[in-house]
Structure 1
Amino acid sequence: MINEIDAVLLLDGRRSIEQLLAFTRQPDRESALQALAEGIQANPLWHKLDGARLVIRAWPHPLVAAFGDFSTQQRLLLADLAAQLHEVIPHHRYVDYAAAEQAAERLATALRLRFGQEALSRFHYTAIPRGGWIVLGMLSYLLNLHPEQIGVPGPSGHDSQETWVVVDDCALSGVRFQQFLQRWNLPVVIFCPLFAPRELCLAIERAEPRVEACINAEDLEDVAPVRFGEAYPQWLDERERQMAGDGYWNGIAEYIAFAWCEPETKYWDVEAGCFKAGWNVLPPSLCLKRRMQASSQRSRRNGRARGLARGSARGQAWETIDRQAVGPGPLKADDRVLWASFGASLAVAHFPMEATEPTTCFEFDAIAADMWRALLSTGSLKEAVSLLLENYVVAPEMLRQDLASLMAELEESGIMIQH
């Protein structure tokens, strides 16, 4: 057994089974883990981990891990993913179409109270692509807007009295709205993100003379102070340096996702000195954009043009999720053990109860891997020997001794246990 393959625990669901079911909107833990794994696989970052395997185990406690030959940078990215999952699963906000419609009603009410229906009937309305157009479509019915009020601003020459209402599904730092203002020379703007931190809305009003008001339907909380604790002031200074004037607010908004889109996350690439696209974790079954991302990644893996992959060929190349079931016993893998196949070899990892402790990961050669599988599938030394003799031409006593030696080593290390 050689310590070569890396194993990174992404999710430890000992205390969050109900939260996992709620996040994935699945009826049972097996389906929930499958949906979560599919969401991880839909990330371009995952497919940069050449040859990586994603492993899920539902019982007795949900576990998700990544196995592979990872660089230091890749291990850091996987650690970021693990932290994101543990934060998002218990504290998430998912907005389906019905909830979006209800939020749009609150936004329409806020606009009427602030400006009155007569003024709203004179304003022009546009949106920040693409989610903003979905929200504006709902808002147009709620405010009874005329088609000529909705559209894209012209290139120049706007009347000084012309007011434009700019709609978006959410604003997290204000970068997209800032870019919108840089592109369009509009004299008077009312910005309406459906969801946004209150501090961001106030910051936009202070920073932009053209913005008459920034009105949202619902506030998003800043999770950065809790996430970083005593290190928050230091983190905030670093964040301001990294943002370099982009956006209006340097906090971290609580996680939110829509039925049409999960906003992109970003991480700071130290070597490149810039932000890059991070992980998205919402299951594709809950989000149109994520479904398209998953389809695109699947097609690329299959070596086919997007949308042409069909039938069993589609599933075969895409299949990099290992689902692990509990064997019949009494000999079983420990509750904290996961394993992944790499060709004829096998990587077996024993994850500690505490995240601060190191993970033991071993690589089994082809013969040891077959022994492992035989022990798990039969649950006993005697039956495992009988199973292996069906495929190996070897003296039964010699095989029994070798298998007993491996089993003793596995039990001593805590990888296998007797139930």
Structure 2
Amino acid sequence: MRSFLVSLDAALLIDGRGGVLDSYLSMTRHDDERFALMSLAKAISTNPLWTKMDSACLVGRVHPAPLLAVFGNFSRDERERLYDLSTLLHRFADRHRYIDYFAAEAAADNLAKMLMMRFGKEALMHFRFTAIPRGGWIVLGMLSYMLDLRPEQLVTGRSEGGPDFEALVIVDDCALSGVRFRQFLGKIDDARVIFCPLFAPAELCRAIEEAEPRVEACISAEDLYDFAPERFGEGYSRWCATQRERMGRYGYWDGIPEHIAFSWCEPQTKYWNTETEQYEASWNLIPPHLSLKQRYSAANPERADEGGYDGLTFVADGPGPLRAADRVLWTQIDSEIAVARMPEGTSQTTPCFRLEGTAADMWRCVLEQGTLDAAEAALLLRYDVEPATLRHDLAAFVSDLENNGILTRR
């Protein structure tokens, strides 16, 4: 096809109803697939990483099966970011936890009961409590009421406790690798420390207790599931060795915990960039309307158009029977139309067709009208050309696209 453009690709992110889209429908408490795709697109486009994707645009389709893709001219670094995004979406689809304030309060109540059972109310009155900013302070605020802590028991860091205070309890909303806890621990000199992340992998808690003599206990209200053993199978041991080499002494544990997010924030995750050979900031997946931090630090201003959110273009079938094939997405870039037939499965890119000038107008008319005769009539209103010539050119155009799996008749 003469309009083939090899410099522009489309990367498929969402394929079909299951997995991520079902998770978004559940998380947003909404039963509309279009709204779920909009929410995901908003989550992606408000990431700082998205601003580094030069000229990239999101394109979605609801029927006959939901699709979401990124169109753009991707560099190798951008392909790495998109692959990481696809990996996160897979993990999100497999298992994720969105913790609203009600669920956070319930988990904090469970943590309070665990502390009472482990140490007793009298002993807790001789502990001081601090938090790892910023989510930890939200959890500590809840605990302070549940444990009836005195104001002098709450400190900002170093416990500064005399003989009346026997231990320092460090609270956080979650712990995924222990990096932030290790940094915090290095700034205090308390001899007796108890670490209380609201959510954490059980393996991480055990690793912290084994690695840090000062840490008497690491107690989480709920455990996070580790995907790494099932994901890597027989290669799990080799993957762990690679992770330990990359991480060095920054964290305590190598694993892939389930994706977690809170009403106030989504913990920053990182991915290994094979090009730069270092860890880099990864994507957030929670839309701003479900995350306080995302809502106020969004990369793009809040905006809602008829076509979607922040550059998301929704495509839809015309009246038919001549219409785009099921796995075809398209978008306008400047005065041209980029069209891609998406491959099966995610984490894949595919080249785009470029339609420009008369070809772009033919494409629009065919989709809007749904038949050759109606498209021809519409084009004759725009072009001063002999009907027979236009009919021949339009038929050849449609035949070419049908042969390439772009158009179909139903």
Fold match (TM-score > 0.5): yes
**Offset at 1:279?**
1.1
Task: For 1:317 and 1:372, locate their aligned partners in 2 and report how far apart those are by CA, in whole Å.
Answer: 22
What SS is found at the alignment partner of 1:45? helix
> Which amino acid is 2:330 matched to?
W
Shift of 1:319: 3.7
Q: Deviations over 1:220-256 (max 9, x none)?
A: 1111112222322221111001001111111111111
In 2, are the aligned partners of 1:261 and 1:288 still within 8 Å (CA)? yes
Output the TM-score relative to the length of structure 2.
0.93
Change (3 A) 1:264 1:207: same
Between 1:326-335 and 1:145-154, the stretch displaced more is 145-154
* CA distance 1:203–1:108, change in 2 (3 Å): same
Q: Calculate percent identity across the aligned residue pairs.
A: 51
Q: Which amino acid aligns with 2:355?
A: F
SS at structure 2 position matched to 1:172? coil
The aligned residue for residue 387 of structure 1 is 378
Q: Does 1:148 align with 2:152?
A: yes
Aligned AA (2:244): E
- Show the counterpart of 1:399: 390
Give the direction of change, closer, same or farther, for the CA distance of 1:142–1:410 in structure 2 (3 Å limit).
Answer: same
Corresponding position: 1:2 with 2:8:
no
Deviation track 1:322-369 (CA, whole Å, cap 9, x = no partner) reads 111221111111110001211001111101235598735211113211
Matches within 5 A, 1:85-96: 85-96=89-100
Distance 2:145 2:367 in 1: 60
Residue 183 of structure 1 aligns to a residue in which SS? coil
* Greater relative CO, 1 or 2 (CA 8 Å, sep 6+): 2
Deviates more, 1:216-225 or 1:348-357: 348-357
- Distance (Å, rounded) in 2 between the aligned partners of 1:102 and 1:358: 43
Give the CA deviation at 1:264. 1.0
Please give the alpha-carbon distance, in whole angstroms, between the structure 1 residues aligned to 2:341 and 2:264: 38
Does residue 1:370 correspond to 2:361, yes or no? yes
Q: Are 2:308 and 2:314, in contact at CA under 8 Å, matched by a contact in 1?
A: no
Alignment of 1:262-411 (within 5 A): 262-294=266-298, 297-299=299-301, 319-354=310-345, 359-411=350-402
Give 5+ residue unaligned stretches, structure 2.
none
Report the TM-score, using the length of structure 1 for normalisation: 0.91
Q: What is the alpha-carbon root mean square deviation over aligned residues?
A: 2.3
Does the aligned pair in 1 maintain the 2:128–2:159 contact within 8 Å? Answer: no
Alignment partner of 2:187 out of 169, 183, 186: 183
Give the one of 228, 250, 259 matched to 2:232. 228
**Number of residue equivalences:** 406
User: 1: distance between equivalents of 2:202 and 2:325?
Assistant: 48
SS in 2 for 1:298: coil
1:316–1:36 Cα change, 3 Å:
closer
Residues 27-77 of structure 1 deviation map (CA, whole Å, 9 limit, x = unaligned): 200000000100010111111111111001111111000000001221122
